[in-house]
Amino acid sequence: MDTMSTSMGPMILGLPFEVALMFASGIFYAICAAFLWKPLRAERNELISALFAFLVYQSLAMIFMALEMHTMNMLYSNLAALSILVGSAYMLKFVWSSFSSGVRRILFMLTLIALLGLFTWFMMTPERQMTLMHFVLWYDIVINGVIVGGAIIMLGIRTTEHWLKVKTLGGGSGVVACCVVANATMLGGAMLVSSVFQFLAPVVILSSLAIARKNQK
């Protein structure tokens, strides 16, 4: 199922508008992930790790989806789906942050194995491959958006530390904006609206982290 078919619209740099927009989103997420690399090395906690994983897998998924839209080669769609599934395994580590490091490691490995097994199952027939991206977009909405994004927001609601509240509410809102709102509008065919929320999400995340660091100091 080609959920990312291009439309006859304006061209940008020789690419259809939707393709160019998707490429731009992927590159923008990669740049934002690079900005988060230094805080990730400095703090090394599950929240920053989850947000970094979010930016990286979204960047890869958007670039692969843009390639699929441009070439109509399902290989790129499958790689986009794989990026989302693997990325979700890293994001779910935030949900398990209350467990010991040993339990978190086991849960992560079991989740990763299960997701890779699920991906392999989809790859077994052309008919399953046609439905993979549609399934993964809904998976992204529920797992990464509702569960992980919701867990980050709930931490922000519960905490009394102002700097942590800013960081978690902003980070969680960014994840929800992309994984829930952008994916839902994409599935509904509103590519332009989807792109707006895709661009908005990393801006909200990085802005909240910058404000939180300032308040923390």
Q: Where are the chain's structural domains?
A: 14-216
Q: Within its chain, how far is the Cα of 154 from the centroid? A: 19
Reported in sequence order, the residue ranges of 39-149 that DSSP labels E, i.e. its strands, are none
As a whole number, mean pLDDT of residues 97-119 equals 95
Residue whose pair of structure tokens reads 């040993």 in the numeric block: 102
The class of domain 14-216 in CATH terms is mainly alpha
- Quick check: 74 and 1 in contact, CB under 8 A? no
What's the pLDDT score for residue 9? 56
- The DSSP 8-state label assigned to residue 15 in this structure reads E
Residue 15 burial (CB count, 10 A): 17
Question: Each residue of 30-41: b (16+ CB within 10 Å) or e?
Answer: bebbeebeebee
Q: pTM score, two decimals?
A: 0.88
Average pLDDT over residues 164-181: 94
pLDDT class of 6 with cuts at 50, 70, 90: very low
Please name every residue paired with 15 in a beta bridge, in sequence order, or none if there are none: 12
Q: Would you say 119 and 82 are in contact if contact means Cβ atoms under 8 Å apart?
A: yes
Q: Kindly report, residue by residue over 67-90, the tens digit of the pLDDT.
A: 998 898 999 999 999 999 999 999
Determine the pLDDT at residue 43: 74
- Please give the Cα distance from 42 to 130 (Å, whole number): 42
- How far, in Å, CA of 62 to CA of 30, rounded? 10
Residue 190, SS3 per DSSP: coil
pLDDT confidence of residue 4: 41
- Return d(Cα 171, Cα 148) in angstroms, integer: 11
Distance CA 5, CA 18 (A): 9
Q: Which residues of 135-174 are buried (b: 16+ CB within 10 A; e: fewer)?
A: ebbebbbebbbebbbebbbebbeeeeeebbbbbbbbbbbb
Nearest to 142 by CA among 208, 105, 95: 95
